[in-house]
């Protein structure tokens, strides 16, 4: 245990001082006040061995592949104050650990939701009412579209372009007030300006926030080129 650990544990069973010279336990009836000492004496020497260094390295490598943690806006407080959104310690920390499956499902829902809108409600300014109006371009190329066409842009892929890096993406989203993962995205040329279109959940089924940020969005800056919420 670290000397600066916050734990108030004073008699860990793995400390040599707590161990008797021999390992055989003895059961003694006794008052409840002696319970802790009695149990520690009883189980002296039974704690499993420490993990192998390779195992710990593997755990750390797994952590290195994770996206940044959720927002620190409700983060740990040295003063121990509770935040409105805090959960009980040890509770399952939300959907991020199950991100791939959730993201795939949600991306599919986005595509269905966006493609399923009546033409005139999808694109009030497009005038055609027959389709997206956006120019798809060659595969892998940015989608060419105007602001008026933005609500019609079906975000069926998950090509986040310059925001592929999770750390950069999280920093960018944090700067625009978002802390979740995009449901989908793709590079676009919006009214002639390169950007990354992100489809973000709003917390309401069938309602999506479409955000276009500049490709350099990250820790240092975040320029929002377009921001529209579409859906029911």
Interacting positions 97-116 with another protein (CB under 8 A): 97
Strand partners, 145: 190
Q: Tally Cβ neighbours within 10 Å of residue 80.
A: 6
Q: What are the phi and psi torsion angles at 189 (to 5°)? A: -115, 105
**Nearest CA-CA partner of 24 in 44, 40, 48, 39:** 44
Stretch that binds another protein, among 66-74, 106-114, 206-214, 221-229 (CB under 8 A): 66-74
Contacts with another protein, 118-157, as mask; x by CB under 8 A: ----------------------------------------
Strand partners, 230: 208
> Is residue 166 a contact point for another protein (CB under 8 A)?
no
Round to whole Å and give the CA distance between 214 and 194: 7
Binding another protein by CB under 8 A: which of 94, 124, 131, 136? 94
Q: Return the CA Rg of the chain.
A: 27
Task: Indicate the residue among 46 and 130 with the shorter CB distance to another protein.
Answer: 46
Task: Indicate the residue among 51 and 116 with the shorter CB distance to another protein.
Answer: 51
Binding another protein by CB under 8 A: which of 16, 76, 100, 118? 76
Q: Do residues 229 and 202 make contact, with C-beta atoms less than 8 angstroms apart?
A: yes
**Smallest separation (angstroms) from another protein to the CB of 229:** 25
Round to whole Å and give the CA distance between 208 and 195: 18
Stretch that binds another protein, among 13-21, 112-120, 145-153, 183-191 (CB under 8 A): 13-21
Task: Indicate the residue among 23 and 125 with the shorter CB distance to another protein.
Answer: 23
> Is residue 10 a contact point for another protein (CB under 8 A)?
yes
Quickly tell me which residue has 């791939």 as its tokens. 100
Task: Indicate the residue among 71 and 146 with the shorter CB distance to another protein.
Answer: 71
> Is residue 17 a contact point for another protein (CB under 8 A)?
no
Q: Which helix (H) or strand (E) holds 213?
A: strand 207-213
């Amino acid at each position: 245990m670290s000397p600066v650990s916050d734990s108030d544990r004073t008699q860990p069973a793995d400390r040599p001082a707590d161990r008797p010279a021999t390992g055989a336990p003895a059961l003694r009836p006794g008052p409840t006040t002696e319970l802790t000492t009695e149990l520690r004496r009883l189980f002296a020497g039974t704690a499993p061995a420490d993990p192998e260094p390779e195992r710990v390295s593997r755990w750390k490598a797994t952590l290195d592949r994770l996206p940044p943690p959720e927002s620190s806006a409700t983060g740990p407080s040295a003063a121990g104050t509770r935040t409105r959104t805090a959960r009980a310690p040890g509770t399952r920390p939300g959907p991020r650990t199950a991100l791939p499956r959730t993201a795939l499902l949600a991306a599919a829902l986005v595509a269905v939701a966006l493609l399923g809108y009546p033409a005139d409600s999808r694109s009030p300014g497009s005038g055609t009412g027959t389709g997206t109006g956006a120019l798809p371009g060659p595969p892998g190329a940015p989608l060419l579209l105007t602001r008026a066409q933005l609500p019609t842009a079906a975000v069926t892929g998950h090509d986040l372009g310059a925001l592929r890096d999770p750390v950069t993406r999280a920093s960018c989203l944090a700067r625009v007030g978002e802390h979740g993962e995009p449901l989908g995205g793709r590079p676009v040329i919006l009214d002639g300006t390169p950007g990354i279109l992100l489809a973000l959940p709003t917390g309401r089924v069938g309602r999506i926030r479409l955000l276009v940020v500049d490709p350099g969005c990250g820790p240092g800056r975040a320029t929002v080129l377009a921001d529209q919420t579409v859906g029911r």
